[in-house]
Amino acid sequence: MVGVKSIPSPAISADDRSHEVDHPSSQVAQFGADQPLRLDCGVDLTPFQIAYQTYGELNADRSNAVLICHALTGDQHVANLHPVTGKPGWWETLVGPGRPLDPSRYFIICSNVIGGCMGSTGPASMNPTTGKVWGLDFPVITIPDMVRAQAMLIDRLGIDTLFAVVGGSMGGMQVLQWTAAYPRRVYSALAIACATRHSAQNIAFHELGRQAVMADPDWHNGGYADHGIHPHRGLAVARMAAHITYLSDAALHRKFGRRMQDRELPTFSFDADFQVESYLRYQGSSFVERFDANSYLYLTRAMDYFDIAGDHGGVLAKAFAGIQTRFCVVSFTSDWLFPTSESRALVHALNASSARVSFAEIETDRGHDAFLLDVPEFLDISRAFLQSAGKARGLTGKND
C-alpha cells in the first residue's frame, strides 16, 4: 500500500486567530459612519478599523514619521513578537536599535492593511450589519484602497508629511501608490522588490493559490466561519506554491539540494522523502496558524488589479509628473517574481518625470525574499538613503 502523509492541521484554533481579527494586540484606529472609506469598487466601507503598531517617538515638528507598508502575508508586527505565533517581528533586520530604521531616530508606523486579518477590517471581521463574519460579502479592495485607509490613519495621528514610506513586494506597491496619490505628503520613498503593475505570470500564480483555497471542501464558498472550520489544507497548498516564487533555484539547491529528510533511502511513498518537501509542508502548515483564507484571496486580488499607469492613460511617467519625493528603488538579481527589468522601467519613468531617484540592483541568490533577510548590501543602501534624505530634511541623529 502506498503511504500518503497529508498537511497537518494547525496547532492554533480558529478561536485563537479570530481574537486578533477584531480585538488585536496592537493599537486600533476606528472610523465611524461619518468617515467612510470610499473603495474603488464603488462601495463605502463603514464603520471600519485599522490596527497598527508604532515604534519610537514623534519629534516636536512631526518630521520624523516613517510608514512601513507590509507585504502580502505580513502585518503590523514588524519589530515586536507576533501575538499569535510568538515569533520575532518580520522585518527586524531593517527596524530596531542600530538598524537603518532606528526607533531612537524615527517614529515608525506599520498598519495592517484593509482586507487583512490581524485587526484591520477585512473578510474575517464581523459585519456589523449582519452580526456575522463578512466572508465573501466583504467588498473587493485594491492597493489604492489600502493607501487611502493608511492616509486616514496618518491624518488621525496628526501627521501631515511622512519623512519616508518604505515597503517591499506588495508593500512596495503601496509605497508607489502613496507617491502617486499623495506626492506632497511623502518626502522620501524606499521601494523594494516591486513593480508598478502585476505581470501575467504573477496573476497566474495567484490564481493557482486562490483555486487551491476554493477547492478545499472546508472553504464552503467563503462561509467556513459559519461552520466553525478553516480551509487549512487549501490555504497551506497556496502558501507552498507562493513560497516557491519567493525563493530562487540557486537558494533552494544550496539549502536543500536533493538531500533526504531523516532517511537514507526513499520510502517509495508520497511521504516527504526530500528535505525541500518537508520544508514546504512546514511553511504551509505554519502559515495557516496566523492567516485567514479569505484574506489571502482578497489581498492577492488587490495585487493583481494594481497598475499605476492604467490610471494615467497607460503612461507611467504621468503618474509621477512634477513629483518632489526622493526615491530609492532596489531590486535583487535572483528575484524572478519582480525582476530587475520591472524596477528599471520604474526608474526610467521617474527619470522622465525629472524625479530625484537612485537605483540599486543587489547581487544575491536569495530570491524575492532577500529584502526580508540579512543582506548587508541592502541594509547599507537603505541606511545611506535614509540618512541622506534625513540630512536634506534637517533631521539629525546619533548615527549621522
Could you list the pLDDT tens digit for every one of the 400 residues in the chain?
222 233 443 444 445 557 799 899 999 999 999 999 999 999 999 999 999 999 999 999 999 999 999 999 999 999 999 999 999 999 999 999 999 999 999 999 999 999 999 999 999 999 999 999 999 999 999 999 999 999 999 999 999 999 999 999 999 999 999 999 999 999 999 999 999 999 999 999 999 999 999 999 999 999 999 999 999 999 999 999 999 999 999 988 898 888 888 888 888 888 887 888 888 998 999 999 899 999 999 999 999 999 999 988 999 999 999 999 999 999 999 999 999 999 999 999 999 999 999 999 999 999 999 999 999 999 999 999 999 999 999 986 544 4
Instruction: Give the whole-angstrom CA distance, residue 10 versus residue 293.
Output: 13
**Residue 335 annotated to the active site:** yes
Who contacts 235 (Cβ-Cβ below 8 Å, separation ≥6)? Answer: 212, 213, 216, 284, 287, 288, 291, 293, 296
**Residue 160 annotated to the active site:** no
Nearest 10 degrees: CA dihedral of 174, 177, 179, 183? -130
Catalytic residue among 206, 368, 369, 382: 368
Strands 48-55 and 107-111: antiparallel
Take residue 53 and report the three cell numbers written for it: 503598531
pLDDT in the model for residue 234: 97
- Looking at the domain assignment, is residue 261 inside a domain? no
Residue 7: phi and psi, rounded to 5, are -70, 130
**Residue 368 annotated to the active site:** yes
- Spatial CA neighbour of 31 closest among 144, 143, 156: 156
pLDDT in tens, 301-313: 999 999 999 988 9
Query: The domain containing residue 174 runs over which residues?
Result: 14-199+307-393
Torsion sign, CA atoms 300, 196, 374, 384: negative
Instruction: Give the whole-angstrom CA distance, residue 306 versus residue 115.
Output: 15
CA distances for 260 relative to 215, 277, 285, angstroms: 30, 9, 20
pLDDT in tens, 122-158: 999 999 999 999 999 999 999 999 999 999 999 999 9
CATH number of the domain that residue 120 is part of:
3.40.50.1820
- Looking at the domain assignment, is residue 297 inside a domain? no
What DSSP string describes 192-249? ES--SB--HHHHHHHHHHHHHHHHSTTSGGGTGGGGT---HHHHHHHHHHHHHHHS-H
Count of domains for the chain: 1
Which residue type, as a one-letter code, is found at position 362? I
CA distances for 115 relative to 119, 193, 295, 296, 372, angstroms: 10, 22, 6, 9, 22
The residues facing 49 across adjacent strands are: 30
CA distances for 357 relative to 53, 203, 225, 254, 340, angstroms: 29, 28, 46, 34, 15
State the pTM of this model.
0.93
- Looking at the domain assignment, is residue 300 inside a domain? no
Which spans in the chain are helix H?
A: 14-22, 143-156, 170-181, 200-215, 232-246, 249-255, 275-287, 293-305, 340-352, 376-393
Strands 326-332 and 356-362: parallel
Angle at alpha carbon of residue 287, lines to 282 and 290, rounded to 5°? 140
Residue 153: phi and psi, rounded to 5, are -65, -45
CA distances for 200 relative to 38, 172, 307, angstroms: 28, 18, 12
- Looking at the domain assignment, is residue 279 inside a domain? no
Who contacts 373 (Cβ-Cβ below 8 Å, separation ≥6)? Answer: 93, 366
Take residue 107 and report the three cell numbers written for it: 517614529
Catalytic residue among 335, 343, 369, 382: 335
- Looking at the domain assignment, is residue 31 inside a domain? yes
- Looking at the domain assignment, is residue 385 inside a domain? yes
- Looking at the domain assignment, is residue 81 inside a domain? yes
Check: CB of residue 236 under 8 Å from CB of residue 288: yes
Instruction: Give the whole-angstrom CA distance, residue 31 versus residue 114.
Output: 12
- Looking at the domain assignment, is residue 7 inside a domain? no
pLDDT in the model for residue 15: 53
Other Cβ atoms closer than 10 A to 6 = 9
Who contacts 176 (Cβ-Cβ below 8 Å, separation ≥6)? Answer: 189, 191, 194, 196, 308, 346
- Spatial CA neighbour of 394 closest among 69, 174, 163: 163
Catalytic residue among 169, 248, 331, 343: 169
Instruction: Give the whole-angstrom CA distance, residue 314 versus residue 316.
Output: 6
